[in-house]
Amino acid sequence: MIVVRRLQDDERSMVFADWIRSYRTSLDVIGVLPRDYDTGMDRRVKHILARCPVYGAVHSDVPGEVLGWCCTDGRTVHYVYVKHAARRHGVASELVLACAPDARRYSHRTYVVRDIDLGPMTFDPFEADT
């Protein structure tokens, strides 16, 4: 059984690393020079993490192992990441439904986003900068 909980401060460094690494292959940053990507995303992700909570999906039998996470301010989902071994099991959808049921926007588009039922959500990259 999957349980969604707010991540602790000591777990957030994993979030930062996952986000920077996984978004590097996004459609929205193709062609961005590596040094520009590193500088820009470092600044952007730190800005978002400073103001938004992050929720993690864990298995009830192993509560210390984070299967995936969702960063949201409640109205905008900024990023969802699920470890490879946990993908295709509804973890991302469960995270979004549990921690941002009323969200109507997402600020970071990835290849995987196309496979998730986002309902009425729309892409708005400028929400990341507010």
Domains, the chain, ordered by start: 2-129 (3.40.630.30)
Residue 95 · residue 115 · CB < 8 Å: no
The lowest-confidence range among 13-27, 29-43, 110-124 is 110-124
Q: What is the pLDDT of residue 54?
A: 97
Q: Per-residue confidence at 3, pLDDT binned at 50, 70, 90?
A: very high
- For residue 114, what pLDDT is reported? 60
Give mean pLDDT, residues 93-118.
Answer: 82
> Is 57 a residue whose pLDDT tops 80?
yes
The model carries a pTM of: 0.90
Dist CA 38 CA 32 (whole Å): 10
pLDDT at 63: 79
Distance between CA 36 and CA 41 in Å, rounded?
A: 8
Segment 74-90 mean pLDDT: 91
Whether residue 117 has pLDDT greater than 70: no
Give pLDDT, residue 10: 87
pLDDT of residue 112: 67
pLDDT, residue 90, reads 87
Indicate if the pLDDT at residue 115 is higher than 80. no
Q: How many CA atoms lie within 13 A of 126 on its CB side?
A: 0
The arithmetic mean of pLDDT across residues 47-58, rounded, is: 95
